[in-house]
Each structure stands twice: as C-alpha cells, then as structure tokens.
Structure 1
C-alpha cells in the first residue's frame, strides 16, 4: 500500500499544500483511457495541457501529495514562456518572476566576460525569467485542475506497466491499495530516476562527468542585480566554479562544485554548507551578512539520452527521456519543448488524423534536439568543471589569458538553452522555396515573434492547429487555395489562415493582421509581391514559399501530416 507523506514540506518562502489522494472507492470503476501521464512535474503537466488544447483527455498520476521540494529549476527561457503562454500560465509566471538578460564571469576579482542575451521590441518576454519551480508547478496544476479534459490523481504511484497489443495495463498503488488502469498510450514523465525506464531495461547513451555540485538556496539581502554571476577558481574553492542567481522572495541560489574527495553526505552537513556559503559571501564583499538556509541538494552533471523515446505504447519525455546538466538552463526548458512537441504529435494520432509515423517523427526530432543539447552542454560542462588533463590545461590557459586578452573571453559563454530547429524533419516540405529566402525563419525553426501593437504580438494569434501565414494586400484569398484548405479541413486537419498585410478583413482568411509598415513582412523575409509560411501546431516552420499555388500547398499539407 502506497503511503505518501502527509507532512507539508518545509520552506521559508513557499507554503506547501498537501492534496487529498485520489481513491478508487470514491470514483467510478475506471475505463480504458486514451492517455495516462505518469509524473506531475513540468513535462507531465505541460503534456496534459497541450493534449487538452488539441481536444484529447488524459489522466495525470502523481505519486506524491504535494509539489516538488526546493526551487529546483528556476531559469526559464523566452521560448519556454511562449510555450507556457499557449497553456495559459505565462501571465502568472511574469507577475511573480524576475526577468534578466546579462551574465557575468569573474576570475581573480576581475570581471572577464559579460554576456548579453538579445532582446528587442518584438519580444514579448525577456530572454530569461527566474521563478522557483514550486510556483511554476502550482500555476500549471491550477490550469490542469480547471481543465475538464484532465483527470489529476494525487497519491497514485505506478508500480507496474504491462504492454499488451495496442495498449498498456498499469498497476497503480494508492493509500487504500492497488487498482489497474488501462490506457492506449502511457507517457512516462516520471523524472530522471524513471521507474518505468528502469523496469523496461532501457539504456541511455552519453556520458557522466566527474564531480558533484551543491545547490543551496539561502534567504539573504544582497544589493546585487538580477544577473547570472559565475566565479572561476576562487581562493576558497580552488580549481572549481561557483554560480549565483537571484530568485524571487529574497532567495539566492549558490551553486558550487565539491572539492576532490568530499562526499555528497559531507557536503550537505550544516557546518560544511555554512563554511562554504560564508566564504562565498565574503569573497563578493558581504562578509558577516546574515542568511538563512531554505533548501540544499547535490547533483552530478550527466549528458544522457534514450536513442528512441517511443517504445510500444509507452512514450518517454522530459528527464525520463534524457538527463542534461543544468549549465545553460537546459533541464525544464528542454522538457517544455519535449512536452509541446509530444502534445500535438500524440493528439493527432489519438484523434486518427495521422498514422503512428507521426510519433516516429516526434522521437526523431526530440532525440536530435537532446543530442544537440548534449553536444553544447558537454562543452559548457567541460569548461565549468574540466576533467583532468587537456581540458583542465585549456581551461586554465583561458582563465589566465582572459585577464589581459579579450579574444579568449567569449569562451566563457555558457551556451544558453535555445529551441531546437527541426531542419531535417520529415514534415518539412521538399517542394517549397525555403532555399530561396534571404531572411526569416527557415525549415524547422521556431517562429519569430513580431509586435503588432502595444500588447499584441504575432504568436497571440497562432496555435491550436496548423497556421498558414499568407502575405497579401488583395481583398481575398485565391479561390484555388481556399478549395485546397477546405479539402484538408474536411479530412479533419485543423488549418488556420492568417492573412498578413491588409488593413481590412481578407475574405477566406480566419484572421487578418495589418502590416502597413511592412515590419512583419520584413522579419519573415517576404518580398513585396507576397509569400506564405506554413507553421505546425508547435509553430515550427514546415514550409515557406515566395509564390504559392494550390498544388504546392496540397503537397505541403500532405507531407506535414502523414497518413
């Protein structure tokens, strides 16, 4: 019998709610579900919300009765905020978050590099915003709870998954005992220590790096801006790196590598934590300042991924599918992109709008993204915490030269998480004009947001299906294109037509966006005589044309949704 703790987790700044467990005796006997999501972290809840956005119901199983302990993920990128806007929680994130765009690297008391993340008037969100994970989980849970298509079950722990022909049977343990739950699809979003992955004997590919790192959240008043701070080879922790981030509610994150020979258990002793944090505060000029510990943990850097995320009726996502180092804010931000992708791919298969080839595409795209991130994160990890030998020698040389030589300083850049471009996706049109464009987002790229008004942006008008951006000053969409679109819709394919250019409604378009100054046209590289873009339900580009006719559109729609 599963007995999750009913004692609220301690926190200086967050009040944990202990939720009532879902018990079978209080509900009707379960029928076979379309989708069961195992795990209620960021990946699991965003997947549920994305499925619901496409009209697909799901059951979310959480083994615990409360949100995760500690701040955990705190830095969320612009693309993550765009995804969270789609599922309805971006405003709450913005209200309580701390936006920032600068990062500073220090060596021997000198700032040797200052990172500046791009930000312009077309961006609704800052490059990064800091919000503790408990708040983000609360916002996502509130959205799940308000959605009639999401059945959220606290205190339900999956103890076994048995795959049958075309569905799976889950054994679920609760505070009143076991019950079985059948589902056509199971989303394994059960974290880095995924019990489902272990039970299925699935091996991850990649590397684990030497050394352990402490994360400590402290309540302290420091007169410093909300910027990322990195300190290399400090006197109190020679050869290692320390990171600091300001969090909301008066909390600061201190992140440092353990010296050689020190165990995680030793590092988390109160006297060890106090000595290291006091030393760090003294080094930055705040010796003796009063502080209070909220939460601490130890982690190691790993760059691992499953080579395939789809195994029969079970689909892995988030940390259950891959393990990434935190350098470059990659964990939760990658999970959001996984979940957004999985949401629409799985929804279209569940609804019978596409064959299971679409899930093969999801796996190929997200495994490719994981491997790209592993390559970049590996470079960051080897610089932040270099292995002995050549990497250590190179890092030490960069540190030394950076005091006087500007050309080496960009090597401090931490290669911040960025959305993956599905350049080689099977959904991209091969008969379009992608190679002829001189500007604008190319095949597989995420969308370029564009400001349309004081609080009005292009991405506010997209999402929920495929979007055809048709640039025109004409009063109507050509009849041949309308016939092609109607044929696709008659087969269930959701396609939204956005006419861009005219100040007046364009006949045949679902939405008309004025572009009197040509700014949107310019950002998308569209010439004055018109053009078009086809965006997938996750807003990534799958086709673009300088000239579009019905035959080319029909071919692109067929490629984008394989039957």
Structure 2
C-alpha cells in the first residue's frame, strides 16, 4: 500500500443526507458517485485505514467503467496488471487455455489484477476530491434506529465516545459481517460450502505473463487445487484447497503453509527468492438478503450478498450495486423521483446476486467439489479434457459478466421490430466514438445522466429537461455539441440501428427502452415516468 488515509479532526455532523456504513471500495464508490450527482454523504469506517492483505484482486471491464465515472479508472490502469485469459492444468498437463472477448478499440481489457487496498485508495481519493464526502476512520456504527423520515445512527469513535447522527438514508456497505444488518435483525439466506482454501500473498519477482492459472491435483500438492494470480508490486496471490480433515487453525500456520508454497513454486520453475506477506483462509458462501431495501436503509456489496470468489464476482458485483444505487438515490434526494424508484434497486440487484450465486456455485462445485460424487465427475471431465476439446468448456471458470435485469419494473418493451441489439434491461454495448467534448468511448457518456441516442441528423427535443443528454449518432465527424461520430460503425451495428432509431440509456449504462421510429418521442416524459413509478405497462 503506497499511502494511508487521513482522519478528519472536525466534529462529526449532527445530520447528513446519506450515511454510508463501511469505507471499503463499494462504500467509497457509492459516496463518490453520489457526489458526482451533487449529494453529500458521511462515510463511517471501523478500521483506521485501507484494508491489509489479499481480498478482492480482479476488476472486470464493467467495474472499470463504473470507476471511470468517478475518475478512478486511470490510477487503476496505471497500477494494475491487465489480462485476457488463463490456463488450467490437470496434474502436470494443460487442459484449457481460454481467452475472454477483447479488441484493440475497447476502452478497457476484460480484467485487471490489483490489490483491494489500491482500489480503496483510488476510490477514496476520488470521493474526497469532490468536496462532498466526509470519511471518518476508526469509527463504527453502534446502533441504527429507523423512523419515518430517516434514521438515527449512533456511532462510536476509537476513544469510546459516542455521537448521534440523523441520516435521511443509510447505506450499509459494511461487509460480510455487517453490523447494520445485525442491528436490524436481518439474515442472509442460502448455503455455504465446507471446502476451504488457504489464501497466501507472497512477494516474488517473475517474468510470467499475467494469466489466471489453475492446477487440479498438481504433483506439488497432490489432491489439492491451486490458483495463482499475478498482482502489482511483484506479488503472487496463491489459493490452495486443504483437505476436509485438516484443522483450519493449523492450516494457516506459516510452518504448514510455506512448504506447500515452496513445493509448488519449485514445480512451476519460479526460483527467485520470495517472502510471505499475508495468510488467511476462505470457504465459499452463496448467500443473499431477500431484499436490499428496508425502509430508508439500503444494503450493497458483501453486506447484501456473499458470492464465491471463483469467477471474480464478489467485489465486481458490489461495484455494480453502487452503479445501480447511486443515481436512483440521488434522484430521490433531489426530489426528481419517488422513493419507490429504490424498490427497483432491490429487485434488480437481488436478481443479479442470485444469478451470480448460480454461476458461482457451479464454479465452486468444480473448484472445491462438495462430495465424492462431484470429485469423481470432475476427475472424469479433466481426464476427458486432456484428449477432447469439446469437454474443455466444463473446465472454464465462467468469469463475471454484466447481468441482464430480467423483468425489471423499469424496463420498457420495444416499440417496433428489432433484429438484434440490446433490449431494455441489458447494458449498452461499448463502442468507439468521437464527440466535440473529447469522449472516445460510449461508456464515457454514462454515470450521471440519462443518455438518449438518436440515429439520425436531428435528435428529438427534450422540452427543457436537464436530466438527459441527447445525442445524434452520425457517420460524419462530430461538429456540434450533441453529435456522436460513429467512427468505426460499431454503434450502428451493435445497436442494430436504422435511421430514426432511438435508445434511452439509464445513468448506469443499462437500456431503459428503444424505439424504431423515435423522432417524435417525448424523451423527458419517458424518463419522468420511469422516475415516478416502478411498475409499468408497455
């Protein structure tokens, strides 16, 4: 970690529009996104600084887009290690080499490896730079009392003193052991797996490519499964499965961990000197709250759901929570939306959590088989994959992807026939563009406002609405504000657009609705309707 946090010495506020419990990457990103919308918040974090050791390490393209909306993408890319694929081995033979979709014109690669404490630092810096975020370290939430107009929150500082804060809204981003969740008597539901993984960070110089590496039953540690990821600062993240009969307390002792690490490094030919930095233990959990809104308390990140690490869905899904929640809560606080809009946050993100859990469970059952039957099937698949390409898809780790918001109350059914492109509830595809404002990728236009994309020379009028940016998508060079030059024809192709096509995109980059003949559509009225209700008919 290259810098430390600073603690404010000013008195805690008596009132705040939004109190965010938890100063991890999700809480700090929510705070920064709210600030981009002009909403002030107070962040309460029990720790004295950014996290230590190995937590989340792989950031998806979607997460980088969200961090880009607060200006934290550049430091992430400057520090992080990009990767596009990986390799899996059965014993000492390769059974899978996969690559995720990537192209030279994209703004971000599929994945970037970076330690969580850097993600926290960069989100923190972005939040503080807005001047609207007050972060309080070494302070914990000790009580939450909801009432009709908000919440009375009691916080306790490191010296034991207590303070009451009236918060219109509370966002619980305080992790898997959420204090706010416990104080409200809420419980996660689902299942957890018995299989345990030791997580080890070591420092060692290496010239290997940045890839996701996995070994099943390797000669270095027979019967185990081992994962390796390179991280910045010459750090390896190593995860290995322990036997069911091993004592977890014994398994994390250095005298038991370091020989296993050395054996594996010897096997793969990594001979440079190394030293351990962090050792912990983990078992996969598939848990979620049934709903993420409870009155004026909202849940996000691990406080709302716990997803297996396999497929890197944990922090990435939490940042997607932040991107979904911030614009909706800001609209409510500005008086532009009914607070029922926040019900759609819960509906959409609970659905996303269940999808992430479904995929994560499949990956977990392959990476850490829960019983003899699963182990037998996995070994059969691995043996077949040695000789049969068609079986290798079973070994694929199913990396995280953006979730479709099926049956979201905000979705507007298509008006007109489309033979492709994203319908309502799907994220808008990335595309190379040019605007007079300097944007080079479509995703740069999202984050704060609704965006209307009209494929034609003269876009529809918005009747004075300030909550939407309307663009004419053209094949010619952008010469005026509101023009998008579809430089490579990607937008026309990826949106299945014809002259007159209109898309309305939510601030979080998801499609609200689309029209084949959009010239006379009242875009402001469409958006106002979305903000005022969460049930609709097409």
User: Which residue in 1 is equivalent to 2:89?
Assistant: 106
Q: Distance in 2 between matches of 1:231 and 1:269?
A: 23
Structure 2 distance, partners of 1:175, 1:276, is 39
Deviation, 1:523, is 2.0
Q: CA deviation at 1:440?
A: 1.9
Deviations 1:166-187 (A, max 9, x none): 2111111113411111101000
Partner of 2:469 in structure 1? 496
Q: Aligned pair in 2 of structure 1 residues 504, 326: CA closer, same or farther (>3 Å)?
A: closer
Counting only pairs closer than 5 Å after superposition, residues 280-429 of structure 1 correspond to structure 2 as: 280-286=264-270, 289-429=272-412
Q: Report SS of the residue matched to 1:452.
A: coil
Structure 2 residue 504 is the aligned partner of structure 1 residue 534: yes
Asked if 1:514 corresponds to 2:485, the answer is: yes
CA distance in 1, matches of 2:104, 2:265: 36
Residue 498 of structure 1 and its aligned partner are, at CA, apart by 0.9
240 and 552 in structure 1: CA distance in 2 versus 1, 3 angstrom threshold: farther
Give the structure 2 partner of residue 67 of structure 1.
Answer: 50
Deviations for 1:348-396, whole angstroms, at most 9, x for unmatched residues? 1111111122111000000000000000000000011111133222112
- 1:260 aligned to 2:244? yes
Which residue of structure 1 lines up, in the alignment, with residue 168 of structure 2?
184
CA distances 1:39-86 after superposition (whole Å, capped 9, x unpaired): 000110110011111111111111122100113111101111111110
SS at match of 1:161: strand
Partners of 2:197 and 2:281 within 8 A in 1: yes
Distance 1:506 1:532 in 2: 21
CA–CA separation in structure 2 for the residues paired with 1:461 and 1:172: 38
Matched with 2:433 is 452
Distance in 1, matches of 2:21 and 2:97, equals 41
482, 486, 506: which is aligned to 2:463? 486
Instruction: Pick closer, same or farther for the CA change 1:223–1:462 going to 2, 3 Å.
Output: closer
Q: Which moved more, 1:376-385 or 1:276-285?
A: 276-285
What is the alpha-carbon root mean square deviation over aligned residues?
2.0
**Contact kept in structure 2, 1:468 and 1:495, CA below 8 Å:** yes
Shift of 1:192: 0.6
Q: 2:81·2:112 contact (CA, 8 Å) conserved in 1?
A: yes
Q: Does 1:230 align with 2:214?
A: yes
Q: Deviations over 1:508-530 (max 9, x none)?
A: xx521123664321221102x33
Does structure 1 retain, via aligned residues, the 8 Å contact 2:413–2:424? no
Higher mean alpha-carbon deviation, 174-183 vs 84-93, is at: 174-183
Residue 546 of structure 1 is matched in structure 2 by 516
Q: Secondary structure at the match of 2:463?
A: helix
1:94 aligns with 2:77: yes
The alpha-carbon deviation at position 554 of structure 1 amounts to: 6.0
Question: Using the alignment, how far apart are the partners of 2:414 and 2:363 within structure 1?
Answer: 38
Give, in angstroms, the shift of residue 140 of structure 1. Answer: 1.1
CA positional deviation for 1:456: 1.5
User: Gaps (5+ residues) in structure 2?
Assistant: 534-538
1: CA distance, partners of 2:441 / 2:135: 32
Match of 1:165 among 143, 148, 158: 148
Work out the CA distance in 1 between the residues paired with 2:60 and 2:194. Answer: 27
What does the per-residue CA deviation read over 1:464-518, in whole Å, with 9 as the maximum and x for residues that have no partner? Answer: 111000110x3x33xxx41xx226x2xxx601101110637688xx521123664
SS in 1 for 2:215: strand
Distance across 2 between alignment mates of 1:462 and 1:431: 21
Cα shift readout 1:435-465 (whole Å, capped 9, x = no counterpart): x222222221112111126982122233311
- Secondary structure, aligned partner of 2:191: strand
Structure 1 residue 223 displacement after superposition? 3.1
Match of 1:218, SS? strand
- Out of 119-128 and 531-540, give the one that drifted further: 119-128
| Mapping for residues 6-155 of structure 1, pairs under 5 Å | 14-15=1-2, 17=4, 19-20=6-7, 22-23=8-9, 26-27=10-11, 30-155=13-138
How much has 1:221 moved relative to structure 2? 2.2
Partner Cα separation in structure 2 for residue 538 and residue 327 of structure 1: 25
* Alignment pair present for 1:208 and 2:185: no
- The DSSP-based 3-state class of the residue aligned with 2:223 is coil
Write out aligned runs for 1:233-248 (5 A). 233-248=217-232
Distance change in 2, residues 1:156/1:394 (3 Å) = same
What's the CA shift for 1:330?
Answer: 0.9
Distance in 1 (CA, whole Å) between partners of 2:5 and 2:132 is: 23
Find out whether 1:439 has 2:420 as its counterpart: yes
- Quick one: structure 1 residues 204 and 54, their matched pair in 2 at CA, closer, same or farther if it must change by over 3 Å? same
Secondary structure of 1:283's match? Answer: helix
For structure 1, the 5+ residue unaligned runs are 1-13
